[in-house]
Amino acid sequence: LEYILGVLRLRKINDPMINKQYLSLNNSRLQDLYRCVESMADNNIEIHSFLKLEISNKGPYKQICDLLYVLLVYLTGQNAEGEIKISGILDQTEVEGK
């Protein structure tokens, strides 16, 4: 899931071929991915991530784990400029301790 987040962040490059052909929500594979992530969020699946995420406000989505929330924001293309920050990488012991 962390890799997928990295790929979705490629949208910032503003390459029309990448954004329209591969990373558009009109792409059927991206729609399938969105449904899977949404299902995981609906079922309150907890994902432990190596990414240290800082989220200023999840609004009504407080029950969703941080990684799934960030993926949903990036998948839908919502403008979250400044609201989501990847501030570092956690080591194995920090992830296991969560």
Sign (positive or negative) of CA dihedral 14, 84, 87, 67: negative
pLDDT digits (tens, 9 = 90+) for 3-61: 999 898 888 888 888 888 889 989 999 999 999 999 999 999 989 889 999 998 888 88
What pLDDT does 34 receive?
94
What pLDDT does 60 receive?
85
d(C-alpha 20, C-alpha 73), whole Å: 18
pLDDT at 95 exceeding the cut of 70: no
Q: Structure tokens of 60?
A: 């009504």
What pLDDT does 14 receive?
86
d(C-alpha 84, C-alpha 27), whole Å: 24
